[in-house]
């Protein structure tokens, strides 16, 4: 069974068609890119998957379950985590708390447990803590656990945001322009990090990215959209030679 199955997904904003008849089928453990010129509707696709927008037409199925009508936190609980184009960490809480809170959907205790500090509460909080520290350790963020995100360099903030997404234990990780705003050494670090996540977790990673270096060195499959419509879908080699893609990015040479 495929992990994510999108059929005929269309989203209109008034008269504007942001996404038009979008189809994709992602399996378990893939590394896929979604590219396209600015304003092509890439982020809208991610927003539709994560439940921010409801589709005008078409369906999104996660592990066979239709996500229609679900609120974003419910979609996340099904195993979809994402990062944002601009970093959206909780700036006034230290890194450790940022990672703890992202486990909200599997807290496993009630408000009453929290008031009474029952065994269940203590046990669950310990487990949440353990997962958070494990992730911080693995992603080389242990030293900044008690720092506020806003005091960290941009590249590290990016890593924290990815760590926060991973603490959801996602089966689908959506990265929205993870390399935006990073310098070249940070980009190298990011490529390594994504590769490492892909190798170590049973997760399908789907990224929107403009930097071709990142896309070409990581992804095995690329989908290209322009004005909401799919114009190409294939391996990096195929995409590089595709005329429609070249035309979308560079324009037509006939006048």
Which residues are near another protein by CB under 8 A?
Answer: 50, 52, 71-73, 76-77, 81-82, 84, 88-93, 97, 100-105, 107, 109, 111, 114-115, 117, 121, 125, 128, 164-165, 168
How far apart are CB 71 and another protein at their closest, in Å? 7
How far apart are CB 125 and another protein at their closest, in Å? 6
How far apart are CB 250 and another protein at their closest, in Å? 34
Q: Which is nearer to another protein, 37 or 181 (CB)?
A: 181
Which 3-state string (H, E, C) describes the chain? CCCEEEEEEEEEECCEEEEEEEEEEECCCCEEEEECCCCCCHHHHHHHHCCCCCCCEEEEEECCEECCCCCHHHHHHCCEEECCCCCCCCCCCCHHHHHHHCCHHHCCCCHHHHHHCCHHHHHHHHHHHHHHHHHHHHCCCHHHCCCCHHHCCHHHHHHHHHHHHHCCCCCEEEEECCCCCCCHHHHHHHHHHHHHHHHHCCCEEEEECCCHHHHHHHCCEEEEEECCEEEEEECHHHHHHCHHHHHHHHCCCCC
Q: Which is nearer to another protein, 29 or 117 (CB)?
A: 117
How far apart are CB 206 and another protein at their closest, in Å? 15
Q: Which is nearer to another protein, 83 or 230 (CB)?
A: 83
Q: Which is nearer to another protein, 168 or 231 (CB)?
A: 168
């Amino acid at each position: 069974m495929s992990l994510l199955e999108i059929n005929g997904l269309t989203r209109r904003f008034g008269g504007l068609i942001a996404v038009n008849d979008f189809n994709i089928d992602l399996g378990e453990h893939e590394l896929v890119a979604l590219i396209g010129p600015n304003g092509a509707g890439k982020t809208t696709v991610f927003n539709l998957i994560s439940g921010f927008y409801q589709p005008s037409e078409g369906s999104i199925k996660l592990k066979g379950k239709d996500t229609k009508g679900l609120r974003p936190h419910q979609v996340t609980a099904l195993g979809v985590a994402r990062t944002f184009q601009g970093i959206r960490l909780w700036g006034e809480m230290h890194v450790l708390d940022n990672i703890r809170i992202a486990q909200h959907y599997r807290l496993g205790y009630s408000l009453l447990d929290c008031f009474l500090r029952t065994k269940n509460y203590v046990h669950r909080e310990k487990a949440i803590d353990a997962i958070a520290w494990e992730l911080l350790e693995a992603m080389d963020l242990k030293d900044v656990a008690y720092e506020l995100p806003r005091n960290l360099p941009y590249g590290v903030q990016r890593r924290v945001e990815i760590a926060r997404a991973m603490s959801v234990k996602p089966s689908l990780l959506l990265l929205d322009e993870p390399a935006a705003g990073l310098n070249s050494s940070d980009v190298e670090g990011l490529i390594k990090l994504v590769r490492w996540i892909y190798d170590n977790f049973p997760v399908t990673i789907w990224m929107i990215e403009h930097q071709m270096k990142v896309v070409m060195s990581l992804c095995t499959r690329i989908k290209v959209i322009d004005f909401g419509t799919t114009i190409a879908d294939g391996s990096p080699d195929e995409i590089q030679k595709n005329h429609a893609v070249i035309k979308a990015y560079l324009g037509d040479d006939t006048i």
